[in-house]
């Protein structure tokens, strides 16, 4: 699908977020233990880059089929019933991610308009809300693809 590349780019952003979490933690621990100078705002910084790590991994988890699928009851359904159930789940998930994107975007605008900063590191908070909004849009587009019929025989749709 077209949006898989965007999801892969977000995955790299998530990887960078994960590496920053590691770096901030190491610098804080070594700085505290060895030099008695902890990293100011380390817990806060780790929390914010955790948003990037999770948001970046969210969409690619769907596109790469890395998500958990619980189908112990669905495996006993006939194929037409499975297809209906898969479409229903795709509609519910699409709706969830659209709402998440919309609410994250609204929250990001509110944070931007208020000029709110984090308490210790004094970082603006709105980019993190906008990042979740973008990742949620890309995730929701995966479910649009699940609702549309597959164009190519090898392309996945909700009938998997």
If one counts the domains in the chain, the total is: 1
Decide if 35 is inside a domain. Answer: yes
What are the distances in angstroms from CA 24 to CA 13, 19, 34, 80?
16, 9, 15, 51
Task: Give the pLDDT of residue 121.
Answer: 87
Residue 114 in domain: yes
In a domain, 99, yes or no: yes
Give 2's contacts (C-beta < 8 A, 6+ positions apart). none
pLDDT computed for residue 134 by the predictor? 95
Q: What pLDDT shows up at residue 113?
A: 97
Task: Determine, yes or no, domain membership for 159.
Answer: no
Q: Which mean pLDDT values do the consecutive 10-residue runs of the chain (160 residues) have?
A: 83 95 95 92 93 92 82 83 90 96 98 93 94 95 87 52
User: Is 156 domain-assigned?
Assistant: no
Look up the domain containing 107 and give its range: 4-147
Q: How far apart are the first and last CA of the chain?
A: 15
**The pLDDT of residue 74:** 79
pLDDT given for residue 50 in this prediction: 95
Residue 87 lies in a domain: yes
Q: Is residue 117 part of a domain?
A: yes
Nearest to 16 by CA among 49, 58, 44, 64: 49
């Amino acid at each position: 699908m077209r949006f898989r590349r965007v999801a892969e780019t977000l995955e790299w952003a998530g990887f960078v977020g994960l590496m920053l979490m590691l770096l901030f933690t190491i610098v804080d621990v070594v700085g505290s233990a060895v030099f008695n100078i902890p990293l100011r705002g380390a817990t806060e910084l780790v929390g914010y880059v955790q948003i990037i790590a999770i948001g970046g991994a969210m969409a690619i988890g769907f596109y790469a089929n890395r998500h958990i699928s619980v189908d112990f009851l669905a495996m006993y359904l006939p194929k037409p019933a499975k297809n209906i159930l898969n479409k229903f789940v795709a509609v519910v998930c699409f709706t969830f991610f659209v709402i998440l994107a919309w609410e994250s975007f609204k929250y990001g605008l509110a944070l931007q308009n208020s000029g709110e900063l984090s308490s210790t590191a004094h970082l603006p908070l709105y980019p993190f809300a906008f990042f979740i909004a973008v990742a949620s849009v890309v995730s929701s587009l995966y479910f649009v693809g699940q609702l549309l019929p597959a164009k190519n025989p090898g392309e996945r749709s909700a009938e998997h």
